[in-house]
Structure 1
Amino acid sequence: MITFDECGAMLDEIADSMPYELYRDLNGGISLLPQSKVHPKALHNDLFILGEYIRNSLGNAIVFYYGSINRVYGTLDKEEYRNKLVEILHHEVRHHNEYLAGCDDLGIYDKNQIDDYLRKHGK
């Protein structure tokens, strides 16, 4: 299992490898929190939020949830786990850049994914 510190180090390395311009106005930075976060629409506590783009009065930030990531991907080897972190970061950075551009295509995609989950699980 990847430890919290190992996950944080991987995230730092991944974030540092991306073009700095993608982080314009991301004044709250990127954080890794230890907890799990279940999606509010989860029917059986089986839908986890791995990361999220947050906009509030303090600014714009990306948050990763280590507990959720390990719950979903904890059995993967180190390289596969790192690849999932790359996917999550790319997803959240895209949310940020779409917000700056005034569109929300990824938000619509995410909503459709939740709607599909609810249809498949009987709600």
Structure 2
Amino acid sequence: MRFERFEEVARRAWEDIPPAYREGIDGLVVSREAVPHPELPDIWTLGMCDTESYPSEWVGPDTTRSVVILYWGSFRNLARLDPEFDWEAEIHETVEHEVRHHLEWLAGHDDLGDVDYAMDESFKRNEGRPWDPWFYQHGERVAPGMYAVEDQAFVELEFTPDAFESAREIVFEWRGSRWAFARPETLGDVHFVRVEGLPDAPPLVEVVLVRRVGWWERVKGALRGRATEVLESDVSNPSRRP
């Protein structure tokens, strides 16, 4: 998509945002620049919400001002990597994403920043680079012990070593039903079990088995520089339980 057409679509996406949600945003800037991710290869920053807060006892549109920026060069580079890249859908999604950043700044939190962090760590994991094994907890908490990071779902289960060793199978809940698979041989500190064959499942569902430790044990481990033991395994077609 040529720059002129890109700018036209971006302006239309901006105008589609209700005015109440654009309050405190001074406008949309469409840049020709391509902005690479500072650490991850072939990842490009598509947009940015540049926010500045002014000293005040109140947080609101008068004291927190933003500018939404879209980078045409980044879109172009990403489109070269993906032949099915949908320019218009990505433009609209990016504009909405950056406006939400502004709204979360006004509310005093940044959930999208957490999701961005989780996605970065997930990408590092897929690339075989060092990654944070607790990244999924930065995603959206959709239910107790369940997290979503875009199209990935994580079901977290805690075990003491004794409880894990005495269990014959791992039982978890999915879509209102109970499912089970054979217990892995080793618990580790964090064990990601990729589960295939679940109904109505996103591309990735993982049951995360977490070794339960007390706060003092965790502190001692940190002081001694003990590395977290992270394991990964796969299961297919878990059994439904009544």
What TM-score do you get using the length of structure 2 for normalisation? 0.45
Distance 2:5 2:84 in 1: 14
Structure number with the higher strand fraction is: 2
Q: 1:1-123 counterparts in 2 under 5 A?
A: 2-27=1-26, 29-42=27-40, 44=41, 46-56=42-52, 59-73=65-79, 75=83, 80-123=86-129
**What is the identity percentage for the equivalent residue pairs of Structure 1 and Structure 2?**
26
Larger Rg: 2
Secondary structure of the 2:38 match is coil
CA displacement at 1:25 relative to structure 2: 0.8
Distance 1:8 1:102 in 2: 31
Q: Deviations over 1:47-83 (max 9, x none)?
A: 1000011124794111111011111136558xx3111
Identify which of structures 1 and 2 has the higher relative contact order when contacts are C-alpha pairs closer than 8 Å and 6+ apart: 1
Give the aligned length: 117
Distance 1:11 1:111 in 2: 25
The amino acid across from 2:30 in the alignment is: L
Distance 2:49 2:114 in 1: 14
Distance 1:51 1:18 in 2: 16
Detail structure 1 runs of 4+ shifted over 3 Å in the superposition.
Answer: 56-59, 74-77
Indicate the larger mover: 51-60 or 85-94: 51-60
Task: Indicate if the aligned counterparts of 2:36 and 2:43 stay in contact, CA closer than 8 A.
Answer: yes
Secondary structure of the 2:43 match is coil
Distance 1:56 1:98 in 2: 13
What TM-score do you get using the length of structure 1 for normalisation? 0.86
Distance 1:41 1:57 in 2: 27
Structure 2 residues without counterparts, runs of 5 or longer: 55-64, 130-242
Structure number with the higher helix fraction is: 1
Aligned-residue Cα RMSD (Å) equals: 1.9
